Amino acid sequence: MPIDFNLSPAQVELQQCAHQFSERVLSQVADAFRALPDPESRFRATRPFYEAMVREGFLQRLIPQPYGGGGTGMVDMAIVAEAFYTRDVNVPLTLFANLLGLMPLFLAGTPEQQQRFIGPFLERTGAPLAALASSEPGGSANYRSAAAGGGVRTLAALDGHEWVINGSKQWVSSASGWEGKGADLLCVVCRTDPLAAPEHGVSVILVPGPAQGFSANYAHASAGHRGHMTCNFSLTNTRVPQENVIGEVGRGLDIVDASFSPTAALVGIMSLGVMRAAFDFALHFARSGRRGGDRTIIHHQAVGYALADAKTAIEAVRSLSYRACFALDQQAPEAFELALHAKIFGSETAVRVITELMRVVGIESYDQQRSPLADLLQDALAFPLFDGGNMGVRRRQLHELMLQENYNADATALHA
């Protein structure tokens, strides 16, 4: 196939639709929650915007066509994510968290499980939420740890024909639901055999909400993404049917790994969106601000070069992230590695670029009333940390790839 970076007519239409929604709806999100004092009220204030997103079919568009949705691939998701993240990070993250929450069902759910649990997310009404509950208090980066008390510590024991789940999770997007009673669907990563190695003793179990025994302990007061909700929660003697386990009992870590693979590329796109927003503001500022001189500051070499470097970085992240999404759509062998590079490079570049653009604007960039840059930096700081932290998870995954004897460093190069 020849190299072709053009969008199809359908993708151009999707891009325009997402851009119009972003300008019309998402541009109002920040003002709706900015003055609210706590994470719970800020999250609830975003619900009408999320409901509008559902009504206009963006949630249904996330779900792949084989499961009844309109999703046609990662590139289409990237188009929507880029358009949304240039205006708001909060409601789009709530939307895309559903992708991660439903991913175990896409990958390993039975037809009956898929029909029953995916169905509510295909409707263009309401505000359904799904979450993949993996991270635990104290950190779960070493989730394959076999040490006693390490790795996955949430336990699920079979009692007759029911799983009884006990444990705590945290940093799980939308896990509390809109009213603190739990998301509509939790895919909970549990240790189902404490004596087995993690590769054979961890499972993913479906917990529909509101779940008995669910308790939202506290909400995280995040520095950025302040209209999005993560919390620390517990499950105490929560019972679900035995058939709610996804895939083979004990082989849940393979499902977790596969669930987080495509989302890595999307973090690169999210990073691209906030960089675009920051660059647009800094460029306008440089073209209009004089700072006491006789010419606008863009004529100064230091400012012009800083803007040039920022735009170069943006284009690099765009190319890498979209290429990773395209490789995922093609199920190419190099897709996972490209997704990891997109996540690491995109997220860390966003933090660096926005910081440099704040230096271009100067002290006014620190004023949240007159500049979006400080807020954008706070939002960008999450990208290297979530969806598998770059240090705890993503670099380790790259390291593990390179440790393989058959690793081919040229596999990611363009080839016939």
Of 73, 120, 90, 415, nearest in space to 274 by CA: 90
Note whether 202 and 190 are within 8 A (CB).
Answer: yes
Is 387 among the catalytic positions? Answer: yes
Cis omega (within 30 of 0) for bond into 333: no
User: Under DSSP, is residue 231 helix (H, G, I), strand (E, B) or coil?
Assistant: strand
- Burial label for 148, CB within 10 Å (0-12, 13-18, 19+), is exposed
The set of residues, in sequence order, having a beta carbon less than 8 Å from that of 264 and lying 6+ positions away, is 324, 339, 340, 342, 343, 387, 388, 394
Distance of CA 327 to the CA centre of its chain: 18
Residue the block writes with tokens 């070069």: 305
Find the catalytic residue in 38, 88, 387, 410: 387
C-alpha span between 162 and 176 (Å, rounded): 23
Residue the block writes with tokens 């997007």: 173
Note whether 50 and 128 are within 8 A (CB).
Answer: no
Catalytic residues: 387
